[in-house]
Chains A and B, each alone.
Chain A
Amino acid sequence: MELVEAIILSVLAASTPLLIAATGELVTERSGVLNLGVEGMMIVGAACGFAGAWLTGSIFIGALFGIVAGTMMSLFFALMALGLAVNQVATGLALTILGVGLSGLIGAGFVGERITPAVHLSIPGLTDIPLVGRVLFGEDAFVYFSIALLVGVWWFLYRTRAGLILRACGDNHVSAHALGYPVLRIRTLAVMFGGACAGLAGAYLPLAYTPFFIPGMTAGRGWIALALVVFSSWRPGRLVVGAYLFGAVTILQLHAQGWGVGIPSQFMSALPYLATIVVLVLLSRARSGGSTAPAALGTVFVPDR
């Protein structure tokens, strides 16, 4: 029982950064923009988040640093891909290459330092309930926030007029423009939201997952978050399933290594990446009848006037 609880807890912890980053990217992509720079924004968020928390001693301020850093990175992207109509795939790659360098530069002074990680909720009585107590009432603030964020995004996309307009931009930017909606402004806001989420997701790693910063600590999570958005068919509801499934694969391989299964650890570590490929193939195949991606995803839009 103890072990089951421990596994569920660690799955939640491993899934949360994926969920936050993927939620942000989902909003960006629903507006028609493909920002491949999630990994770059996340790793800068991780470095700045740790720097903020280490300098101020506050996890909250650290998280804010991460959010601001991710948003600023995404503004670079918006300036290029939306302002200058540059190819979005190439710009996203540039953002990742830049992010990896910047995070190394920012984080260099903090390697080897430790902070007190984010505190976990503790409600006497409730948190002590066996099996479900710590899972439901003993998480850190990031985990609860990630769920709230996802519900908020679902509500925004499907229950508000602004969400409808954002989806219209993603499906047909010419029509949205003709109706008088400021397509580029809406997309810029969506890209900024994606950047803020990626920055927060990155900051989660050194603030709650491990209490220290190491260069390259995102280890491809930004790319997996991008794959999760495809997995979810661009729907927030399925995103949560995908994120926890991937968290489970990550934890499973860690535990399998601990149990001394006779498979080299490197093969187990490769599982999340291989799982991503398998899932992408299976899903893309199942969807052969027609794509569920936003119709204008990744296309350049220069308004005529």
Chain B
Amino acid sequence: MQLVLEKRAERSGTIALVSPLIAIGLTIATMVILFAILGKNPLLALHAYFIAPLTDGYSLQEIAVKATPLVMIAIGLSLCYLANAWNIGAEGQFLIGAVAGSWIAVRTQGTDAGAWVLPVMLVLAAAAGALYALIPAICKVKFGASEILTSLMLVYVADLFLDYLVRGPWRDPHGFNFPTTAEFDPVATVPLLIEGGRLHFGSILALLVVAAAAILLGRTIKGFEIRVVGAAPRAARFGGFKADRLIILTFAVSGALAGLAGIIEVAGPVGHLQPGISPGYGFTAIIVAFLGRLNPLGILIAGLFLALTFIGGEQAQITMKIPLDVTKVFQGILLFYVLACDSLILYRFKLVFPNRQVTSGAG
């Protein structure tokens, strides 16, 4: 007796809808075991992770704040992945965007620069992120170099570059030698939506990005092109779609969105440029993209869910002394289950009995 995969005649629509939920369920079951191994009460831990952050206004705002970069980056990545272009360096594009935008903020610090500062920062960050993402895209299209490896290598380079800037030329002279720029001026800061709260204008921008992506993919020829090139490259070639041009385009768009997310994070919740501005947003966004089934609305929901795990993880660390790495383990396991459940959309399990088949064939 053997368990084998069998291709379904067509995609299973039901499973496509419920598979993320099955994956989340399986992940939570696995986490219960992990909490028990760590000697923590699983029910209390689950409460700290998934319920407690939803019960007060401050945490709810914080979830939206954390979801903002995740959703923006993941929307860009989903375009890449749909077109079968593997940008996994969004973390680097996020950091370069943050650096490029901060350049304006640092240069105008203490001057009487007007309201133009923030818009210019946003545009510059998006442009820098796009250009940074174009390096692996062009290396791929012109020279055939694996975009996976080059985009990832650039993450380390961006990280070191940011580190150099805040320890060297951009360090706050009154910052007690901490590697950070001075706090940005009010004109270089993303405005808050609620006075005295945490929610900022960037979250609105993220919603606009989701809507734009939904229109692009659902209503335009370009969106159709992206999906065809990824799903059926041969058919796309016959249809005259240029895969190379789409790689360039999707990388540039995803880089721009990651860069924008970077400057919004720095000019918003953080308020200055420093190392460690990202708890791995660029990598978590990969999970968000897959958990959201590469669909804009799905990504919005998945982004909020993963933001919840960040906030829940912080709370569980404070209240129950559960290490922060548990959140990363959770996210990794979740991606595994999501991918495994996705497999069931295209395949079904089947038990085969090799011996019986032979006898029936002979008879």
Contacts and interface: CB of A to CB of B under 8 A. Distances in A.
Interface of A: 36, 76, 80, 83-87, 89-91, 93-95, 97-102, 104-105, 108, 215, 219-220, 223, 226-227, 230, 264, 266-267, 269-270, 273-274, 276-277, 280-285, 287-288, 291, 302-303, 305
B164 interface: yes
Nearest to A84: B343
Interface in B300-335: 323-333, 335
B212 interface: no
Contacts of B153: 220, 223, 227, 273-274, 276-277
Q: Is the interface of B mostly helix, strand, loop or mixed?
A: helix
Contact of A273 (B135, B143, B156, B164): B156
Interface string B133-144: 001000100111
A84 B86 contact: no
- 6 smallest CB-CB distances across A and B, nearest first, come from A98-B332, A101-B328, A104-B325, A101-B329, A266-B164, A94-B335
Given A97-B283, A98-B336, A223-B153, A105 B329 contact: yes
A83 B4 CA distance: 8
B290 interface: yes
A91 B333 CA distance: 11
Contacts of B150: 276-277, 280-281
15 contacts: A85-B343, A85-B347, A87-B339, A89-B148, A99-B332, A101-B325, A101-B326, A101-B329, A101-B331, A227-B146, A230-B146, A267-B164, A280-B149, A287-B144, A302-B347
Interface in B16-71: none
Contact of A90 (B7, B143, B330, B339): B339
B154 A273 contact: yes
Nearest to A102: B329
Contacts of A270: 156-157, 160-161
A267 B161 CA distance: 7
B336 A80 contact: yes
Given A276-B149, A277-B145, A281-B145, A266 B328 contact: no
Contacts of B152: 220, 223
Contacts of A302: 5, 7, 347
B139 A97 contact: no
Contacts of B225: none
A98 B339 contact: no
Given A85-B343, A89-B86, A274-B157, A266 B163 contact: yes
A102 B328 CA distance: 8
Nearest to A288: B144
Contacts of B336: 76, 80, 91, 94, 98
B113 interface: no
Interface residues of B, number: 50
B206 interface: no
Nearest to B86: A89
A85 to B, nearest CB: 6
Interface of B: 4-5, 7, 86, 88, 135, 139, 142-146, 148-150, 152-154, 156-157, 160-161, 163-164, 167-168, 283, 286-287, 290, 323-333, 335-336, 339-340, 342-343, 346-347, 352
A93 B352 contact: no
Nearest to A220: B156
A230 B327 contact: no
B34 to A, nearest CB: 9
A95 B164 CA distance: 30
Contact of B343 (A36, A86, A89): A86
A105 B157 contact: no
Contacts of A287: 144
A84 B148 contact: no
Nearest to B284: A97
B290 A90 contact: yes
Contacts of A89: 86, 148
Nearest to B147: A280
Contacts of B157: 270, 273-274
Nearest to B160: A266
B325 A93 contact: no
B145 A280 contact: yes
A280 B160 contact: no
A86 B342 contact: yes
